Chains A and B, each alone.
Chain A
Amino acid sequence: MSSKPFEPNPYLPEYLQKLEIERHEQSLALSRRTFIKLTGLAGGGLVLAMSMGPGARQALAQTKSPAAEVTLNPYIQIRPDNTIVLYAKNPEIGQGVKTSLPMIVAEELDADWSTVEVRQAVIDAKLYGPQVAGGSTSTPTNWDPLRKAGATARAMLVAAAAKQWNVPASELTTENNVVHHVKSNRSATYGELAEVAATLPVPDAATLQLKPRSSYRLLGKRITGVDNTKIVTGQPLFGIDFRVPGMLFATFTKAPAIGAHVKSANIDEIKKLRGVKDAFIVGQQGDHIGFNPGGPAVGSGVAILASSTWAAMQAKKQLKITWDETNASSDSWTDFKAQAKVLAAKPVAAQVLGQAGDVDGAFAGGKTLDAMYTYHYVSHADLEPQNTTAWFKGDHIEIWTPSQTPQAAVDAVAALLGLPKDKITLHQLRGGGGFGRRLANDAVCEAAAISKQAGGIPVKVQWMREDDMTFDYYRPGGFHSFKASVDKGGKLSAWQGHFITVSRDGKAPMTAANIAPTEFPANVLANQRMLQSLISSRVPTGPWRAPGSNAIAFAVQSFLHECAVAAKRDHLEFLLEVMGEPRFTVADNLRALHTGRAANVIKTVAQRAGWGREMPQGSALGLAFHFSHAGHFAEVAEVSVDANKKVQVHKVWVVADIGPIVNLSGAENQCQGSVVDAVSTAMGLKITFEKGRVEQTNFDKYPLVRIDKAPEVDVHFVESNYPPTGCGEPAFPPAAPAIANAIFTVTGQRVRTLPFSAEGYTL
């Protein structure tokens, strides 16, 4: 047993690292079995080493694989007819990993993609290590393990052929599910070799030869989604589509004022309504306000179980609940804004998160400017509202859910019901959107609690859109006040950011409401200071596509443009100057901002968009850059604005450096979608609350962009040789400031609020 302290994968964002550490600690407490400890919780490489071993293969043999399929490792099965089954380990929520992760395996396996069937893997940390959809981490954290999984199986197939033909393995080549021995003109299919290969020793990971990029046959190509046919023919795939015999459809009603408790409800009347089979009050269990995917999270509310979703929805409308609001939130966004104004006026009273150089000296010697930015709360609005099916069976429970953190969901249900984790079977289903919402497992907990309280009846808890919008772990709203100076030469000489954010305990920001002290441009400037002030809040917050970055980039990249304007400089030239010499901003950290990679994407996007070209009256180009999730993204927006503040976003150019591309079609789709999402969010989306009650309840008050207002999006990848990084999020942050900067260039008016509709702009 290793005595080294547990270190979560450093690639992961903070909230996922926390999750990994928690899972590790719980698991130490629960189990001393070395196998689980090592394989379930350590980083990718170790998991692979263990999961390729005989223990895992035995476990696999017991759990699945009809005789026809030969299992080479948890990711790969080969059939005698020379077709291949690959297992996709992570949840699919629209980010495309069910296609792209198996592509990585297939590349090293030298598999013929047209013979591959992809299946969703079981949720099992022993076999697959962390199974998460979050933080744009699937590609970077699985890149090595999956390549090794493919290469391991390939080496075993080659060894089987070498044995059969009695030739050295080094003389064999592979292509499209076939092993060749050119010298003797012999070949054998993977299907023919699999059975023998499976009996051979697993090669040492150190002896594996991974392909150089130049010989990739599959990676970097456009591969269409493996579930496309099922999607276009309407087959059941999603959480909401699942059902078991005897299942009841349930709604769950929580308090309009966040954190209130049910005092009483007209349960008897509800039970008499058509289609209603049962109704009861569910007490609060755990904490559903703090974002904690691995903990019980059931709010106080009323469950209605009915013979159809509609019957449950109708009965929900008839509910009369008296709420005890003693401990409920009375938060008010109007009040937050007033508090922020007071705090922004007193930066001296703020906490200093970080500083360097002589900020005040530079301010005194240059031309200073200041501004305050505001961004509203937003909801995830996954098109498939939250849901989970659960079937409590006394000493165990079965769950079907589209969670983004299925392993944490098991932890949460174990804690909620007091069951050992091995008594919880979780089936991973496809999620109709995620964007971070399904990292939280509150709907999973509700279904588990309701199925149990109903006496072990299988139940699908289905949230209405109204539930989904009024009980979310929102992208926190907040405020960002800046002061900066430009010197006589027009150079940015100092920068001070005062981040005003929400806190539940008055000590630290809530989840995804924090800022790194080194957030750009603090990490590239000699004179900089980062301040923070807190506002008390109980409105739940959580990671929302590109957490932090999704609002910070708007404020920072807009204010940088303000600085360029104050310095009377061209924005492009100014931004490149801020980047300075090409270097990593954290020494030897491949996941850190590299100013050279940044400058490269900025220059490339300017070139592609024709920066500096003559624009028609009322139109302009706007530029922005943001680094997040280890991805360097620069974007230019072409925008026109009329006298009534009506905005048209005609086109957005995206240039990204995320290393080599795994699936070109998927990566491009993610970038296009992120930009459309950013246009929605920048132009019109906001969640507000008064007296602790969220004011927007459905899409009529939450105007997601539709096809007629969606811009054309041009995506270009700079395929550098750095390790590949994820792509579900980092294209989002630069779009809003690029649009705002263009609006300024057209109108001379600076937009300092997200969404822009709060300042009178409409699409």
Chain B
Amino acid sequence: MLSLNVNGQTLEVGEDVDPKTPLLWVLRDTLGLVGTKYGCGVGQCSACTVHLNGVAIQSCQVPAESAVGQRITTIEGLSAPGATLTAVQQAWVEEDVPQCGYCQAGQIMRATALLARLPKPTDAQIDNDMAANICRCGTYTRIRKAIHSAAAKIAKTGGAS
């Protein structure tokens, strides 16, 4: 039996689930948090990106058991349901980044972690982090724009995202 801290809640994962199951599938199939996406399963696309203690990781590469005792944040946990969106989420909506939208949860999670570390990233710094994520629809121009715009929003409101 695993006990995971997801989006500020402690969630129990039943005996029937193999503790070696990648976090991705525990989130999606066991806990019903389907915002985190499967794209490749081999650490190539980052559609499955979540935060482990605030750091962006590929959840398809992390066995659920090794996430025990750590703070897991998924796309569903960035802003409470119905509450104001974070600066990054807002920027994504306003810049109209998504096409199909499938990669965007992963993109937003990585961008959020990037901005927490580097509040005013350069294009090169954006490239460095965001190159981990594939967008098959090719929304990169807007992803870059949205990250800059989110950075400006955060600077204005004094750091709270």
Contact = CB atoms under 8 A, between A and B. Distances in A.
A675 B138 contact: yes
B113 interface: no
Interface string A206-249: 00000000000000001011011101111111101101000001
A430 B101 CA distance: 9
B100 A308 contact: no
A712 B104 contact: no
A303 to B, nearest CB: 18
Contacts of B89: 232-233
Nearest to A231: B101
B39 A383 contact: yes
A673 B138 contact: yes
A235 B18 contact: no
Interface in B36-59: 36-42, 44-45, 47
A710 B140 contact: yes
A309 B99 contact: no
Given A383-B136, A673-B139, A232 B28 contact: no
B18 A275 contact: yes
Contacts of A95: 99
Interface string A362-380: 0000000000000000000
A376 to B, nearest CB: 18
Contact of B85 (A233, A383, A464, A676): A233
Main secondary structure on chain B at its contact with chain A? loop
Contact of A231 (B28, B74, B104, B126): B104
B137 A673 contact: yes
B45 A383 contact: yes
A311 B101 contact: no
Nearest to A242: B34
Nearest to B142: A669
Nearest to B144: A707
B96 A224 contact: yes
Contacts, number: 195
Interface string A658-699: 000000011001101111110010000000000000000011
Given A430-B100, A465-B41, A676-B140, A234 B16 contact: no
B127 interface: yes
Contacts of B100: 93-94, 382-384, 430-434
Given A672-B139, A672-B142, A698-B40, A308 B25 contact: yes
A384 B37 contact: yes
Given A309-B28, A704-B136, A234 B75 contact: yes
B62 interface: no
Interface string B121-161: 00000111011111111111111100000000000000000
A232 B16 CA distance: 31
Given A224-B94, A224-B96, A310-B18, A699 B45 contact: yes
Nearest to B101: A231
Contacts of A665: 96
A311 B78 CA distance: 29
Nearest to A675: B138
B24 to A, nearest CB: 8
Contacts of B99: 94-96, 669-670, 673
Contacts of A707: 126-127, 130-131, 133, 135, 140, 143-144
Contacts of A385: 38-39
B79 interface: yes
Contacts of A680: 138
Contacts of B142: 669, 672
B57 to A, nearest CB: 16
Interface in B70-97: 74-76, 78-79, 81, 85, 89, 92-94, 96-97
Contacts of A673: 99, 137-139
A275 B85 contact: no
Contact of A234 (B22, B33, B40, B137): B33
Most buried by A among B29, B37, B104: B29
Contact of A307 (B16, B32, B76, B139): B16
Given A224-B93, A240-B34, A383-B134, A710 B141 contact: yes
A680 B140 CA distance: 13
B151 to A, nearest CB: 16
Interface string A268-308: 00000011000000000000000000000000000000011
B4 to A, nearest CB: 15
B105 interface: yes
Interface of A: 93-96, 222, 224-225, 227-229, 231-238, 240-241, 243, 249, 274-275, 307-311, 313-314, 381-385, 430-435, 464-465, 665-666, 669-670, 672-677, 680, 698-700, 704-708, 710, 712-713
Q: Which 10 A-B pairs have the closest CB atoms?
A: A234-B35, A676-B138, A94-B100, A432-B102, A234-B75, A673-B138, A708-B127, A699-B44, A310-B25, A231-B101
